[in-house]
Chain A
Amino acid sequence: MSVAFKAVQWNRDKLIYDAVLVAGVAIYIAGFAAVAWRWHPPKNLPDVLDIWLRAFGTAAFLMLTVILCIGPLARLDCRFLKLLYNRRHFGVLTFFVAATHVGLMIEWFAVQGLLHTLPADFTTWENYGKFIGFPFKTLGVAALAIMLTMAATSHDFWLGFLKPPVWKALHMAVYAAYGLVVMHVALGIMQYEHTPLIPLMLIGSLGAVATLHLMAGWREWDADHGRAAAADGWLLVGPPNAIPDKGARIVTASGGERIAVFRDGDQIGALTNLCAHQNGPLGEGRIIDGCVTCPWHGYQYRLADGCAPPPFIERLVTYRVRWNQGVIEVDPHPLPPGTPASITCPRTGA
């Protein structure tokens, strides 16, 4: 949220996040290399490169796994929202770790004088029909290409240039990248690896990603289908004190549109649950300095009319709310972006 595009919009929280992230990755890679060195002492330079290659490769795989777990974890437990806040930097760092893995692989071929054979690994077409012997490096390179595209378009400028639906679709390709990496590791293990640790890492990671997505999906489906509506179609939100102060309760209209109903003391207002920046879940955010603040990147909007405070120009769709016999209800029909629609509630009891 700035009138000037900067390379990186750092703040104190993001700096701490990035420092912890980089330290964690460095400790993992150094630890992996130390254990592998002790377990199978390298006999020559290719062996040394092989240790680092695996350290960076497994780090990238685990980082991608954590990235995919953060979204459902944040939906299941709001304490994980802190991890979601700066996930973009996590993704960019994952690309650099994966790129280093590829660089070490090229170096591994180079020090043995085998670099000229590397292109044939990708273009020996008959191997693509095999299961054992499949050119698994191609899968890894395809995953890296997706991660490169995501990292290169992670700046806010690209969101505006590509438009949110295209940008979002492009960045959902992280699931395709993960699938490719899983296949890359699985097929690579079958050809070269005989320790059970990496298969266990693969199965555990895949299981965690799948289970968390199913749990979060089930919870959201349950929430989307349990909302009562009044005779005139207004949706029941609940008594005012059922909405956390400075927080929101999310209700879902029949068309699937999620509405975030916020309370700031006695003021109650409803906005679309989608942030204008990257469609972040506004209803999982808080009211900070009088403004609804997106949990993903801190974009802010006034509760009264859904407008970003000046000099910013973003405006959100708002919804009418009413106080009806002690409970708050919301009209599921959206108002034009920036329309004032909040009310002051007479007795919140909070």
Chain B
Amino acid sequence: MSTVLLAALALYVAAGVVTGAAFVTVGAARFAHHMTFTLPARLVLFPGAALLWPYVLYRWRRARSDEP
């Protein structure tokens, strides 16, 4: 049982790392059009993006589909 839980956690973290890295690199700017991001700021945003990756992915996809 604990092996299954640990594997699920590892999968969640792996998906979070990939999504988080992509979001802070190219996605975050869509949500702050009049702002720029310094490199350290992108690094600071990464844990939040990785942690909340399902919601981040949902919002990101919705923002892309709303674009003209």
Say if A and B assemble together: yes
Known A6-B38, A6-B41, A7-B38: A157·B2 in contact at CB below 8 Å = no
B48 touches A155 (CB 8 A): yes
In the complex, residue of chain B having the shortest beta-carbon distance to the beta carbon of A121: B2
In the complex, residue of chain A having the shortest beta-carbon distance to the beta carbon of B29: A5
B2 touches A5 (CB 8 A): no
A5 touches B41 (CB 8 A): yes
A5 touches B37 (CB 8 A): yes
Scoring B residues 14 to 55 as 1 if CB is less than 8 Å from chain A, else 0, what string do you get?
Answer: 000000000000001001101111101101110110111000
Q: A2 to B35, alpha carbons, bound, how many Å? A: 8
- A179 within 8 A of partner (CB): no
B5 touches A123 (CB 8 A): yes
A157 touches B28 (CB 8 A): yes
Across-interface contacts of B51 in A (CB, < 8 A)? 148-149, 152-153
Across-interface contacts of A152 in B (CB, < 8 A)? 47-48, 50-52
- Interface majority SS on A: helix, strand, loop or mixed? helix
Across-interface contacts of B45 in A (CB, < 8 A)? 5, 155, 157-158
- A161 within 8 A of partner (CB): yes
Known A8-B44, A152-B48, A153-B48: A3·B2 in contact at CB below 8 Å = no
In the complex, residue of chain B having the shortest beta-carbon distance to the beta carbon of A157: B45
Looking at the assembled complex, report how far the CB atom of A315 sits from the nearest CB atom of chain B, in whole angstroms: 15
Q: A34 to B37, alpha carbons, bound, how many Å? A: 44
A-B contact pairs, 13 of them (CB 8 A): A3-B34, A4-B35, A5-B35, A5-B37, A5-B38, A6-B38, A7-B41, A119-B5, A151-B47, A152-B52, A153-B48, A153-B51, A157-B32
Determine which of B34, B40, B48, B59 lies in contact with A6 in the assembled complex, contact meaning CB atoms within 8 Å: B40
B52 touches A153 (CB 8 A): yes
Looking at the assembled complex, report how far the CB atom of A6 sits from the nearest CB atom of chain B, in whole angstroms: 5
Interface size on B, residues (CB 8 A): 24
In the complex, residue of chain B having the shortest beta-carbon distance to the beta carbon of A311: B34
In the complex, residue of chain A having the shortest beta-carbon distance to the beta carbon of B39: A7
A4 touches B38 (CB 8 A): yes
- A160 within 8 A of partner (CB): yes
B36 touches A119 (CB 8 A): no
Interface centre among A4, A120, A151, A157 (most CB of B within 10 A): A157
Determine which of A4, A6, A7, A119 lies in contact with B2 in the assembled complex, contact meaning CB atoms within 8 Å: A119
Looking at the assembled complex, report how far the CB atom of B8 sits from the nearest CB atom of chain A, in whole angstroms: 12
Across-interface contacts of A4 in B (CB, < 8 A)? 35-38, 41
Contacts beyond the supplied A4-B35, A5-B35, A5-B38: 4 A-B pairs with Cβ under 8 Å: A3-B36, A8-B40, A119-B5, A149-B51
Determine which of A2, A7, A119, A148 lies in contact with B6 in the assembled complex, contact meaning CB atoms within 8 Å: A119
Scoring A residues 153 to 166 as 1 if CB is less than 8 Å from chain B, else 0, what string do you get?
Answer: 10101101100000
B2 touches A123 (CB 8 A): yes
B1 touches A123 (CB 8 A): yes
In the complex, residue of chain B having the shortest beta-carbon distance to the beta carbon of A161: B31
- A122 within 8 A of partner (CB): yes
Q: A158 to B47, alpha carbons, bound, how many Å? A: 11
Across-interface contacts of A123 in B (CB, < 8 A)? 1-2, 5
